[in-house]
Structure 1
Amino acid sequence: MMESLDLLFADTRFAPVWNNLDRFLWGTLLTIEITALSVALGLVLALPLALARISANPLLRWPVYGYIFYFRGTPLLVQLFLVYYGSGQFRDFFEDIGVWRLLREPYFCAILTLTLNTAAYTAEILRGAIQAVPFGEVEAARAYGMSGFRLYRRIVLPKAIRMALPAYTNEVVFLFQATSLVSIITLMDLTGVGRVIISRSFRTFEVWFFVGAIYCAITYLMIWLFNKLEHRLSGHLRDRPAEGPKPAPAE
């Protein structure tokens, strides 16, 4: 088995992959890092956005609706170009408020764009889950004296998170795969490393096949982890093991 693998990687067709495994490793780590930061920041931002989205106050509801409408209605690549290249037109303003040093860095622009994008999608997922919480459960909690933040913390949000988890899993997977776009703004993520190696070796199929295999492996690892989390959070809904026959009473 090992001899077969050695022959495979010794083949000149796969030499660019084998000789650049360290670069692929660092590119993979950067991809995971960008995904983790964007998901964490996007989730923190999405919860207040979802609550504002269902608010009865139009001053809260409509600006959030406009934000979600834009980020869900435009391609992520356009958003990335808008943040990275478009911010240069307002350099004087950003220098005055002290954020130009951040906006000129591709890493920060990638994190900012992905965070804003996933926050919009996640807010809509949470909004739908919150509104899907059975009204009877909310009324029962109010009958016990719960209201406001306590009602959301103990009844609405736990139920909504469990219902939103399958859709949120897809959103995280899509975001992970969308990080491949950050290579366009010079970041050397997994896709960026693949593009550079192809430009030097011209082994398009072999390199992209290897890059795709890494993306596929990490994607299904993420799905497996989310399935474990969903299984843990919904433990009270799982069927209990059937009880064996009870012994007959002694005569």
Structure 2
Amino acid sequence: MICAEALQDYGLRALGIGARLLPQTDISLCQQIVLIGSGMMWNVYFGILALGFGFFFAVALAVAKSQPARLIRKPAEWFIFIFRGSPLFIQFFMAYEAFVMLPRVGIEFTFLGVEIAAETRWFARAWLGALIVLFLNTSAYTAEIFYGALRNVPKGDLDAADAYGLSGWKRFRRITFPTTMRLAWPAYTNEAIFLFHATALVFFSSFPAFQQRGDALYYANYFADRTFNPFVPYPIVAFYFVVLTLLIILIFGRINARLNRHLPNGQRTRLRIRPQLMR
């Protein structure tokens, strides 16, 4: 009965639905499990959107980096270098400071003779500001993975495409891109796992949680402060992330099998769990 009440009161609390106040005293295990699980929705939100948009941007960066023209290649190289060469936490901090300055500077422009003042304060909130940082960071790392795979596309495949008269966009779409994805997918799976783990850093960044609508670590820290026992809420967070990691491996494993379906069973690459302790 207590768990059912906790689920009703705090199941969607991270989205602002349910009880207005967080539990203050007599905090039960069910309340901690439910509320931390509610916060995981924000971690999943950050991970899915950053990974989804970052995938397409990373493909563009990888293709740009492989181009012989310096005006196309150099911006992609510097973008990848900057976001791979600096710590993610510093990127959170610098982005927040930059976004906080936007409302003070003000953005005004004229469209069809109408003066428009753009609202920029929402950049300094976690739901958008932190998402932008994660998007840019994973785009840089993923672009380097895709670039390495792009350079290792077998020359025989490209020669065969030329023999069939495929060139330009058609060759890239039918030969180069699928082969690149097949080669890069195991490493990209590890990057996806790390990205979802990195969403926990949003709590430590300067981006504030709006009306106590925080992520899983936000609520875990809240319970640790209230109960003076960090050995309950933090293992709950770890358990949720382990389950999320297994789900990612399952989904990406199915995609990997789809990408390698044309190969004999002995030549198909299988995804393996390779924990990334540092980055």
> TM-score with structure 1 length normalisation?
0.85
Matched, 1:238 2:264: yes
Once the two structures are overlaid, the 10-residue window that deviates more, 82-91 or 133-142, is 82-91
The secondary structure found in structure 1 opposite 2:200 is helix
Aligned to 1:80: 92
Partner of 1:221: 247
**Deviation of the 1:89 alpha carbon:** 3.4
The answer to whether structure 1 residue 47 and structure 2 residue 69 are counterparts is: no
Q: In structure 1, what is the equivalent of residue 217 of structure 2?
A: 191
Displaced runs of 4 or more, over 4 A: none
Q: CA offsets, 1:62-119, max 9 Å, x none?
A: 1111110010011111101111123323544453362623312221011100000000
The separation in 2 between residues aligned to 1:211 and 1:202, in whole angstroms, is 16
d(CA) in 2 for partners of 1:198, 1:123: 38
1:30 to 36, 42, 59: 42
Structure 1 unmatched ranges of 5 or more = 1-13, 241-251
Supply the distance in 1 between the matched residues of 2:105 and 2:70 (Cα, whole angstroms).
30
Q: Distance in 1 between matches of 2:258 and 2:63?
A: 26
Q: Answer yes or no: is the 8 Å Cα contact 2:89–2:201 preserved in 1.
A: yes
Identity across matched positions, percent: 33
TM-score by length of 2: 0.77
User: CA shift at 1:201, angstroms?
Assistant: 1.2
State the aligned residue count: 227
Verify the 8 A CA contact 2:102 2:120 in the aligned structure 1: no
Name structure 2 gaps, 5 residues minimum. 1-25, 110-117, 267-279
Give the one of 165, 169, 174 matched to 2:194.
Answer: 174
Larger Rg: 1
- Cα distance in structure 2, aligned partners of 1:194 and 1:59: 47
CA contact (8 A) 2:33 2:236 kept: no
Verify: 1:68 aligned to 2:88, yes or no. Answer: no
Task: State the Cα RMSD in Å.
Answer: 1.8
For each residue in 1:201-244, what CA deviation from the matched residue of structure 2 results, as whole angstroms up to 9, or x when unmatched? 1110111111111111111221122112212221221339xxxx
TM-superposed CA distance for 1:25, in Å, is 2.3
By percentage of residues, which structure has more helix?
1
More deviation in 125-134 or 97-106? Answer: 97-106
The 5 Å alignment of 1:34-183 reads: 34-96=46-108, 98=118, 100-183=120-203
